[in-house]
Chains A and B, each alone.
Chain A
Amino acid sequence: MRRDAALRRLRVVNRFLIGGAVAATGLLTDVTAHAFTGHKRRVAASTPVAAPPVPHRTAPGAARRHRDHHLRHHRRAALRPPANAPTRATTPAPQAATPAPAATTPAPQATTPAPQATTPAPQVTTTSAAPTVSGGS
Chain B
Amino acid sequence: MAHTPAAPFAALCAESWDALGTTAVLRHEGPAHAGARMAVERELDAIDAAASRFRADSELSRLNAMPATAPRTLLASPLFAQAVRLAIHAADASRGAVDPTLAPELAGLGYDRDWDELIAVPSSAPLADAERIVVYRSRRARWEEIEVDDDPARITLPAGMQLDLGATAKALAADRAAQAAHEASGVGVLVALGGDIATSGPPPSGGWAIHVTDDHRDGPDAPGQTIAIQTGGVATSSIVTRRWRQGSRAMHHVLDPRSGQPVWGPWRTVSVAAATCADANIASTAALVLGRDARPWLAEQGLPARLVARDGSAVVQGGWPQ
Q: Which of A56, A111, A127, A136 has the most CB of B within 10 A?
A: A136
- CB of A89 within 8 A of CB of B89, answer no
- CB of B242 within 8 A of CB of A137, answer yes
Chain B residues near A115 (CB-CB < 8 A): 19, 44-45, 48-49, 52, 55
Chain B residues near A56 (CB-CB < 8 A): 82
Within 8 A of B (CB), among A38-68: 44, 47, 49-51, 53-58, 62-68
Chain B residues near A123 (CB-CB < 8 A): 15-17
Q: Which of B82, B231, B236 has the most CB of A within 10 A?
A: B82
- CB of A134 within 8 A of CB of B212, answer yes
Q: Which of B41, B176, B239 has the most CB of A within 10 A?
A: B41
- CB of A80 within 8 A of CB of B274, answer yes
Chain A residues near B315 (CB-CB < 8 A): none
- CB of B151 within 8 A of CB of A98, answer no
A105-B18 CB under 8 A given contacts A85-B320, A90-B226? yes
Q: Which of B12, B150, B176, B321 contacts A128 (CB 8 A)?
A: B12
How many A residues have CB within 8 A of the partner chain? 73
Chain B residues near A91 (CB-CB < 8 A): 6-7, 9, 209, 226
Residue A18 CB within 8 A of the other chain: no
- CB of B275 within 8 A of CB of A80, answer yes
Residue B210 CB within 8 A of the other chain: yes
A103 to B18, CA, bound (A): 10
- CB of A102 within 8 A of CB of B23, answer yes
A51 to B48, CA, bound (A): 21
Within 8 A of A (CB), among B9-67: 9-19, 22-23, 25, 27, 32, 41, 44-45, 48-49, 52, 54-56
Chain A residues near B218 (CB-CB < 8 A): 101, 133, 135
- CB of A137 within 8 A of CB of B89, answer no
- CB of A121 within 8 A of CB of B18, answer yes
Q: Which of B14, B41, B95, B196 has the most CB of A within 10 A?
A: B14
Within 8 A of A (CB), among B204-219: 206-219
- CB of B192 within 8 A of CB of A89, answer no
- CB of A135 within 8 A of CB of B215, answer yes
Chain A residues near B17 (CB-CB < 8 A): 105, 116, 121-124
Could you tell me the distance in whole angstroms from the C-beta of B88 to the nearest C-beta in chain A?
6
Residue B145 CB within 8 A of the other chain: yes
Q: Which of B54, B193, B228, B230 contacts A137 (CB 8 A)?
A: B193
Chain A residues near B49 (CB-CB < 8 A): 115
Residue B116 CB within 8 A of the other chain: yes
Chain B residues near A53 (CB-CB < 8 A): 86, 89-90, 168, 172, 175, 276, 278-279, 282
Which residue on B lies nearest to A44, using beta carbons? B149
Within 8 A of B (CB), among A73-125: 76-91, 93, 95, 97-103, 105, 107, 109-111, 113-117, 121-125
- CB of B175 within 8 A of CB of A51, answer no
Residue B251 CB within 8 A of the other chain: no
Residue A32 CB within 8 A of the other chain: no
Chain B residues near A68 (CB-CB < 8 A): 85, 88, 146-148
Residues of B within 8 A of A (CB): 3-4, 6-7, 9-19, 22-23, 25, 27, 32, 41, 44-45, 48-49, 52, 54-56, 78, 82, 85-86, 88-90, 92-93, 95, 114, 116, 123, 143-151, 168, 172, 175-176, 179, 190, 192-197, 206-222, 224, 226-242, 269, 271, 273-276, 278-279, 282-283, 301-304, 318-322
Going nearest first, the 9 A-B pairs with the smallest beta carbon separation are A137-B194, A136-B238, A85-B319, A136-B241, A99-B16, A135-B216, A93-B220, A88-B321, A131-B209
